[in-house]
């Protein structure tokens, strides 16, 4: 397992006066709510009806949320049958920011987990591991205990029983090995879905070790570079800091990610709407990618467990298409509570599926959803914390209206 970097605190913006703050908020809200940034881009300007229709759909869905939560900035990317559309709102910061573009960098939180799943599936497709392997096969320090029974698949489907967070005291691989050796599952392994940064962090680390490199380097080489994702990072370089949106808590306090052990697979990516929509397209048919990466992505879409309203894939959460909004919201409500999980042993259904993943850090909000059979997908990124249910609703409304219009 590669050694993770020690946690570090990123600098916050300086405090400013109440009057300046109110003026900044007013400016951001008005600019965001009244118009899309001048840099809004439609992939196919010749298809004016489609471009105009999508713009109207996106505006109607996102502007109320921008106003309600005083979001400094938001980037929206939509893909329809291989055509990309970008809609950008507001600024990268409440004070001294620049207009949001499709290259603006946001923390994407747990959407990062889908890249860890892809890397693990790539390692399996390359013959470096099997998702059915016990964890202890790859982490010898854990042999002879609980992790003889926990599989890599269970790490990637939140069914290992591991808790949500890596304890703050853990700073190294020996610390983690000591913690895991003493840990006992609250339920029999594989019987409950318990959302876990620990699990996907371990899976990402094991996959990287089997592939013979550092986790971040491998994600760059195997996923980012082949997909043309030139604006995605674990550590934002100095020359890109101007495009790095400042995050804000729900109370408008500036904040950025706090790194911890195994942070990279669990929540560590900063990316742009332009890059993430390329990743979404790679998760649907028609993408020009090599066979091993194609196989890996397909493996992340296989239904593995049913837990309450959720069909759990390798990190992705899946629903039969078309889902109702109530189904999606019920699934989201169940995310952080333990749910009895039933393995899916039948061959994957040919029924179209709606796949999605939410992502949150303390100052950023993300949502990605797509329907492979319809070749439609969406990316939502904002530099402020706002409710996950609202993101799910916005994404659902936009994709539903696009799908309905596509029938005409």
Query: What positions carry a catalytic annotation?
Result: 110
- Report residue 133 as tokens: 């392997």
Burial of 45 (0-12, 13-18, 19+ CB in 10 A): exposed
H or E stretch covering 88: strand 83-90
Beta pairing partners, 134: 151
Considering only CA atoms, which of 347, 310, 270 is closest in space to residue 159? 310
Radius of gyration of the chain (CA): 21
Q: Phi-psi bin for 109: left (phi > 0), alpha (psi -120 to 50), beta? A: left
Question: Residues 6 or more apart from 166 whose CB is under 8 A from it?
Answer: 176, 197, 198, 201, 260, 261, 262, 266
Q: Report the b/e string of 8-22 with b at 16+ CB within 10 A.
A: eeeeeeeeeeeeeee
Query: What 3-state DSSP class applies to 13?
Result: coil
Rounded-to-integer distance, Cα 360 and Cα 111, Å: 8
Question: Residues 6 or more apart from 324 whose CB is under 8 A from it?
Answer: none
Considering only CA atoms, which of 238, 295, 334 is closest in space to residue 120? 295
User: What does the CA dihedral 5, 7, 11, 16 come to, rounded to 10 degrees?
Assistant: 160
Rounded-to-integer distance, Cα 400 and Cα 394, Å: 10
Question: Residues 6 or more apart from 56 whose CB is under 8 A from it?
Answer: none
Rounded-to-integer distance, Cα 377 and Cα 160, Å: 30
């Amino acid at each position: 397992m590669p050694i993770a970097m020690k946690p570090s605190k990123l600098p916050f913006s300086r405090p400013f006066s109440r009057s300046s703050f109110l003026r900044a908020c007013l400016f951001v809200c008005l600019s965001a709510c009244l118009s899309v940034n001048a840099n809004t881009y439609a992939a196919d300007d010749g298809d004016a009806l489609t471009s105009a229709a999508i713009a109207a759909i996106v505006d109607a869905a996102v502007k109320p949320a921008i106003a309600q939560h005083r979001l400094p900035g938001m980037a929206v990317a939509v893909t329809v049958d291989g055509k990309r559309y970008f809609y950008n709102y507001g600024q990268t910061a409440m004070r001294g920011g620049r207009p949001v573009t499709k290259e603006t960098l946001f923390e994407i939180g747990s959407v990062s987990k889908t890249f860890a799943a892809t890397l693990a599936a790539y390692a399996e497709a390359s013959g470096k591991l099997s998702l059915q392997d016990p964890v202890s096969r790859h982490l010898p320090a854990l042999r002879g205990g609980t992790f003889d029974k926990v599989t890599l698949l269970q790490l990637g489907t939140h069914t290992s029983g591991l808790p949500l967070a890596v304890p703050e005291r853990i700073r190294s691989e020996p610390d983690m090995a000591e913690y895991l050796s003493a840990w006992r599952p609250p339920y029999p392994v594989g019987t409950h879905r318990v959302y876990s940064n620990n699990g996907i962090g371990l899976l990402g680390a094991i996959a990287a070790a089997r592939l013979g490199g550092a986790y971040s380097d491998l994600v760059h080489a195997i996923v980012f570079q082949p997909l043309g994702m030139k604006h995605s990072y674990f550590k934002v370089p100095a020359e890109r800091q101007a495009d790095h949106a400042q995050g804000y808590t729900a109370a408008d306090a500036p904040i950025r990610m706090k790194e911890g052990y195994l942070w990279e697979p669990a929540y560590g990516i900063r990316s742009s709407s332009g890059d993430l929509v390329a990743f979404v397209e790679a998760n649907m048919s028609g993408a020009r990618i090599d066979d091993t990466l194609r196989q890996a992505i397909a493996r992340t879409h296989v239904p593995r467990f049913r837990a309450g309203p959720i069909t759990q894939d390798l990190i992705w959460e899946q629903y039969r298409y078309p889902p109702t909004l109530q189904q999606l919201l019920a699934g989201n409500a169940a995310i952080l509570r333990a749910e009895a999980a039933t393995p899916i042993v039948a061959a994957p259904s040919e029924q179209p599926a709606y796949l999605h993943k939410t992502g949150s850090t303390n100052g950023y909000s993300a949502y990605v959803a797509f329907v492979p059979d319809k070749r439609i997908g969406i990316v939502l990124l904002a530099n402020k914390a706002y409710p996950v249910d609202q993101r799910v609703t916005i994404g659902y409304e936009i994709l539903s209206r696009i799908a309905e219009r596509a029938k005409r």
